[in-house]
Structure 1
């Protein structure tokens, strides 16, 4: 039994000796390869980010539809746009002059006076309606009966509570007594709902 034990112990010691006596140059090469791989991956990641953020556009348009502006940005930069064409009807014509501006800043400038927000994921820009915090908006409205049709008319204006500026593109809904009506505020923040006489 003792002989067997010594053989196992001797085998373990020789294995340990082999591991500790590995050629230092091989270990050095493995370590350097790992460091170089990490360095190259970091450089590649940074260069991709620089390309995304470094993409620039030149744009000079006067009262052009927003979707046409998106087409031009796509042509210059390769950034694709995803949007709901029906929602884009609420967009104001775009007048802007941009020279060598990064894509993200260009989008911010173009959408500054629009009822839209955006997100960028790789080379896809998604356009969506701005979410308006109801706590920061104020609705001034009046209601009256149309003397001819006897319909109830509700008219109003949606304003930013802080700046008192009109807010365009706000959805105004009425769901009362089985009547469901919906409209959006116009460029002046105004809306109008007509409740038919029953």
Structure 2
């Protein structure tokens, strides 16, 4: 039976939503096509007619999840314009709520090491989106020089993602909280120091 364009688009969205969450919760290698189709409520045929391979699903799901993450940042910027945007994004990213929700959180913190082992197609999709994320973040950095803003965005995001990975990994709740709070404080402070021209 032929599926309408609207239904096909809806099915595609369901597959990407399920795959993006399951990959972040379980890892790419540990997530089979069976679990994605079951979670999405679709058949193998429906999945393969949309994507053709698990590698294609992984590439699209990573792009999909990173794009959603960027929309979260965009909403934070709209609610907190100007100099308040960076602290709002950092505080939200390095929160207990984000730490405790890997399935819906940052792809980098959940899958960074996993993606490094993926085929080129998956890594290219990831790289394209990360460059876009860094460009977005660089526009929130206070330095007047574009090159410096981009470098500051790299440092800020690497610090944030690394802190989230560590905060999830440790078994000591107090240490986990300290990792999140200390990193947030330093990333925000660095932005303010840059804004005043002091190093």
- Rg comparison, structure with higher value: 1
* Greater fraction of residues in helix: 2
Q: Same fold (TM over 0.5)?
A: no
TM-score between the two structures when normalised by the length of structure 2? 0.25
TM-score between the two structures when normalised by the length of structure 1? 0.25
Larger relative CO (CA 8 A, sep 6+): 1 or 2?
2
